[in-house]
Amino acid sequence: MNTLMRIGCLVGAVLLGVRAPIVSTAEVRGRAEPVLLFGIGMHIEPLGRTAQGYGGGGADYRQGPLFERHVQDILAVTGIVEAHGGRMTIQAQSPFTQVAIERGNTILKDLESRGHEIGLHFHEDAHLGRDSGRLPPEIWCAVMQEEIGFIYQAGVRNHIRYWSGGNLYPGVLDAAACAGLDVNSDWKNPRTQSTDPSLLGVNPWRPLGGPSETDLSKFAAHDSNGKIVFLPEGMYDPEKFARKREIIAQGGDRAWFDVLREALERSLASARADRVNVFHFTVHPGEFRGDPAEPFKVIEDFLTSVVDPLVTAGKVRWATFSQMADEFIAWEKAYPGVDPRLAASSAQLPRPTEPDVTYCVMDGVELKLDIYRPRESTAPTPALLYVHGGGWTSGDKARGEGVRDIPELVARSYVVAAVNYRLAPRYKFPAMIQDVKCAVRFLRANAERYNINPDKIGVWGGSAGGHLAALLGTADETAGWEVGQYLEHSSRVQAVVDMFGPTDLTVLFEGANPRLMEQVFGTSDRSSEALKRASPVNWVSSDDPPFLILHGERDSLVPVSQSQIFYEKLQAADVPAMLVIVKNAGHGFVPMGGPIDPSREELTRMIADFFDHYLKRPVGSDRYGVSQGAHRDATLMPRSFELAGQAGIGWVRFGIWYGIVSPRPGVFRYEESGFDAQVRKARQEGLQILGKLAFATSWNTSAPPNLPPEADPTHFPPRDYRAWADYVFQTVSRYKEDIQYWEVWNEPDLLSFWAGTPAQYAELLAVTYEAVKRANPQAKVVLGGLALGGRRVNPNFLIEILSDARYPAARYFDIMNFHHYGSREEARQRMEYVRNALRQVGASDKPIWITETGYSSDPSQQDDPNYRGLEGQAQWLRDMIPYLLTDLGADKVFWYRLYDYPADFNADVGARYHGLIDNQGNPKPSYFAYKELIASAVSPIGFTLTYSEENQQLFDDIAQPDDRLLFFRAHVLTGKGWPPRLTRGKVLTTWPSWTEARQYEDRWAPYADVFGYDIEADSPPDETRDASKTIQELRAYLDDVSRRYGHPIKLSIGLNYNFGTRHAIALARSDEVHLHANELLRAYLREDPHGLNYVEWLVARAAEVRAVNPDVDIVIAVLVPEMETVRAVEVAQALLSAMAAGRLRFEGFTLWADADAAKNHPELVAGGTFAIM
C-alpha cells in the first residue's frame, strides 16, 4: 500500500505531455503508396538488484565501469541513428534508472531532449519475482508505476506510454492500462525465444485480451475498443528469430543483419497503402559493438545500404514506437470500425462486386474468391485471376504485391477474381494448384454470369502466387491436378504474369529452405519426384501461353536466377516470353540501394499492357472494315458479324440512331432497341466498332412543317442542340468500354442527308465533339463521311466547315473521313482534294479514313464494263481496296456494305446489292476476295511472299528448325498480324525514318519482335559520326516501347555498303546487324554474274563487326525484288559456299523471292540458316 501511494505522488508531481500524430487523418486516408514506419528500440536489462529487491549476483550496474560503458554505448548507437535522420525508443528499468539518479547522470533526459522516446522495459521476474503470473493486475500496475517513477526521477518529462514485457501474463493489458501505458510490442515467448506466427505482420492492432503461453487467440484479435496498441515487429522468419544467438555465433553480427534485411524486404512487400505499416527491431547496450576502432559499424552499414535508400524512395519513414501508435490512432479515425488485420479497404482497392464467393469445395473447405467487375460493358470481357503469395503457408486474396495492380486492371475493363486457396502445413501441395485450377474452371462455368469471355483468361501472382501462376500456365492435364468441380471446363489460361516466383524447387535457396519444403511439399529432398513435379521449369512446352516475368535483381529470398532459368526454358520452347529484371529491387520489388527501375507504377502499366496485348488483341486486320448500313435484320445481322470475324475484318461501322434510341425527350432505350445486342455481338466476333451518331428525331428536328413526301425531317439539323448533346453523352458513356470511335452524321455535304448549312454542321460537330470527350476523353471523333460527289452535293462543304469563323471544324474532329464510289482516278482526285484542304488549315497530320467504298454485284447497277456480275464485284474489290490503302495512303477502308438489303426494303436501292453477303446470309465471291486480301495483307512475310492456304506447307517447312533465326517481314502500312496457322518466326519491322516509326508506333509495336533501322547510305560524313548515339537512343526508345507493350523488341541495324570500319564498329553494338548493299549488288551483278565481289564485301564487313562483338547475330539481306529470282539464287549459293569454307558466318539470310522460286529451290529453305521474305 505504501508503494502505491508513493508512486501516485510521483506521477502526480510530473508534468505530462502528449505527442501529436506525425501525420494527419487526411494524410492517412489520402495516401496512394504504402509507407513502412521504421524504428529501432533499445532494451536496458535489469543488471543487478532491482528496486523491488530481486536479481543480482551477475553483471551489476552498481559495480565497476559497466554503467558508464553502457551509457557510452547508448550514446554511440543513438548518435548513429540520429545521423541517419532517426530517433530511437530507449526502454529503461531499474537498477539502471536508480544508478542514473544516484550518480546524477542525465542520459535519459538528454536523449529525450534530442527527440528519442523513453519507455519502460519490464522484466516481470526481476520486479515481481518468479511467481509473477499468480499476482493480480493491481500489483503489476503498482510495480509498473514504481518503475515509471524512477524514469521520471532520472529527468524524463514526457508521458511514458510504451512498454515491453509481461508476454505470458493474461492480465498484462489491464495492468499496463492501469499504469498509464498504451503502446506495446516485442512479443516473444521468453522461455522458447520464439514468436507465434499469429503475431507476425506489419499492421498494428488493439488486442482483444492478454496473452498466455497456450492461448494467443485474444491477443491476436483486434478490438476497436481496446486500450492498448500493439506494434508487430514485421514479417520476420520465426525460425530464424528464435535462432538469433546461433546465427550470430556461426556467421557473426552481419549474419543477423542479413536476417533483418530479409525481414524488412518481406515487411515492405506486405505493406498496404490503406494501413499503418510498421517494422522495428531491438538492440541492447554493447550488442553489435564489433571492432573497437569502428564500434557498431554493422548498424551504420545497415542504415546506409538498406534503410537510407528506402527513406529516400519514400518507402520507409523513421518513427519512434509511440509515433507509430499515434499514426495508427489517426488511421482509426480515418477508417472507423475497420479491422486492420483483415482485407484492404476501398482506399487501396475498389470494393469487390461480389466478395467471398464460394468457387469450389475441397476436403469440406469452402474456397473463396472476390470478384471485381468493371463498369457495365455490353461485350464479354477478359478475366484475370490474382493469386496471392505468402510462402504457401499464409496470405490472403486481399493482400500481397499484386493487389496494387487490381485498380488499374479493373479500370481497363477486366473482370478480376482474387482467390484464396488451401495453405500448408495443414494442406500439403498439390492442394494449392488444385484450388487455383478449380478457380479458373469456375470462371469459365460462370462466364455468362460475370460477362466473361471464357477464351480470354489470364493469371498473375507474386512469390508463391507467382509459382502457382507459372504452374497454371505450364502444367497440363497429365499432372493429375484437375480435381473438384466444373471438370467439364478447361483450366488453361491464355496469358501469365509471374512476379518473383520460385520455378525450380530442386535448387536450394532461402525461399525454398528445407523446413519450408517439408511443411509445404512433405519433403526437402531436392532430387525427389515431388519437388520436380512442383517446379514449373519441368512443365514447359511449346503450347504454353505467353509469359511476362518480373523479378528484382537484389531478391535474396527468391534469387533472380529462378526467373532467368524459367525464361530460358520458355524461350527454348518458342513460348512468347519477356523477362524484366527490376533494378534495385528486392523480394516484392522492395527498393534496395536506390529507387527501383522500372518503378512500381510502370510495372503495373506493363502488366496491364501485357494482358491487353494478348487478351484484347484484335482478331482482324486493323485497316479493313465494313459498313453495315441502315437495315438491321435480326437474323442477317448476327450471321454477317460472324462471317466478318471469320474473314479477318477488323472493323464494323453502324449507327446508334438517335430517333430509335430516344423516341421522346429524356428517354433512352438501348437494350429495347437492340443496340446493346448489336454491340455485344460485334465485340464477341472480335470486331472493333465505328459508331455513327445520326440523325435528328421526329421530336427534335428543325424541319419546317408540310414537307414534301420525298423529304426526310430527320435529315434536318436538330432543333435543340442541347438535347442532341445529351443523346451523344448518354450513348458514348453507355458504350465507353466497347466503342472508342464516333462518326458525326453521314454525308453531310449531300443535301439529301443534311438539309442545313455548313455553318450549322460545324456547330453540330463542335457540340458533338465536346459531348464525346466529356463522356470518354480517350474517344476519337470522326468527321461525317463526305460524299464528295453526287447530284445534290455541296462542292465547297469541306472548305466552308474548315474555315468556319465560329467553329473551325479541324478543331472538332480527330479523323478525316470521306466516301468513294467510282474509278481510281476519281479516288485519287478526292484524296488530293482532301489533303490540300487539310493542309491549308494546318491539319495535314490527321488520319484519313474512307468509311464507304463499294460496287454492286447486280449487272444492272454496274457501270464499268470491266467488272461484271458477282465475279466483277469481287475483282473490283481486289483492285480498289489495295489502291486506296497503299497507293493513296488511306489509314482505313470500309466496304459498303456487309449484306444485301432484303428485296422488300425500300431505302438505298442503288446500293441494294453492294453486300459481301447476299440477303439469305450466303457469302458472295466478293466476301472470299476480301477474306483472301486481308489474309495476304496481314501476313508478316513481306511484299512478294505472302500468305495463302497453298503456301501453308512452305511456311511449315521453313519454321521447323529450332536453331534458325527466322524473320517474317511486316510493314505496317500494308497490314499486320500473323497468318492463321503460323506459329514460329519473328516479325521484323523496318523504318527509313525514326519519326515515321514513332508516328505509327501503335501499329507495329504490338506485333514486332525486331525493329530494323538503316543508317542512310547517302548520309553526309558529318552525320555518320552520331551512329553510336543513334543506337543508344534507339535502344532506350525500344526498351521503353517493350515495357509499354509487354514484350521484348530487339534492335537491328542495317549496315550499308559505303559505310566503313568505324561505322561497323559502332553498329556492331546493336543486338543484330543487317548487312545489305542493294545498289552495290545491282552493279556487281551486271559485271559479275555470280556476285562474288558482293560476297567479298560481306566477308570484310562481317569480320569488322565480329571483331567488335563476337556474339552479334548477322542477317544477310538480299533485297532484289526487281531482279530475276535466279540471279538472287546464285548470290545465295555463293554465300553458302563462303559459309561452308569458313570465310563467312551469319545467322540469318533474307531473300525477296516469290513462292514458286522458293519451292523450286528447296535448298534455300531446308539447307541453310535462311528466312524468305
Cα four-point dihedral sign 94, 100, 102, 103: positive
Report how far residue 300's alpha carbon sits from residue 295's, in angstroms, rounded to the nearest whole number. 9
Amino acid at 311: V
What span, in angstroms and rounded, lies between the C-alpha atoms of 551 and 603?
A: 11
Reduced to 3 states (helix: H, G, I; strand: E, B; else coil), residue 536 is: helix
Q: Kindly name the residue from 377, 463, 535, 627 that is annotated as catalytic.
A: 463
Q: Which of 587, 914, 971, 1047 is catalytic?
A: 587
CB atoms within 10 A of CB 644: 30
Distances (CA, A) of 600 to 33, 313, 555, 560, 596: 10, 12, 15, 17, 7
SS3 1063: helix
Determine the length of the chain: 1173
Whole-angstrom distance, CA of residue 370 vs CA of residue 355 = 4
Question: Could you give the 3-state DSSP secondary structure of residue 737?
Answer: coil
Active site residue 542: no
Known active-site residue 463: yes
Q: Can 1063 be counted among the known catalytic residues?
A: no
Q: What's the CA gap between 1044 and 608, in Å, rounded?
A: 9
Strands (E), 953-1102: 967-970, 986-991, 1010-1014, 1050-1055, 1072-1075
**At residue 563, what is the residue type?**
S
Q: Which 3-state string (H, E, C) describes 1126-1163?
A: HHHHHHHHHHHHHHHCCCCCCCEEEECCCHHHHHHCCH
The torsion of the CA quartet 924, 925, 927, 933, rounded to 10 degrees, works out to: 180
953 CB neighbour count, 10 Å cutoff: 10
**3-state DSSP: the chain helix, strand, coil percent, rounded to 5?**
40, 15, 45
Which helix (H) or strand (E) element contains residue 438? helix 431-445
Residue tagged active-site, from 182, 237, 253, 555: 555
**Cross-strand bridge partners of residue 1075:** 1055, 1116
**Measured torsion, CA atoms of residues 394, 395, 401, 402, in degrees rounded to the nearest 10:** 130
Answer for the pair 602, 585: CB distance below 8 angstroms, yes or no: no
Q: What is the spatial distance between Cα 1154 and Cα 1172, in angstroms, rounded to a whole number?
A: 9
Query: Who contacts 709 (Cβ-Cβ below 8 Å, separation ≥6)?
Result: none
Closest C-alpha among 496, 663, 669, 516 to residue 576: 496
Which grid cell is 1160? 523450286
And the C-alpha cell for 867? 467488272
Which residues have a catalytic role annotated? 463, 555, 587
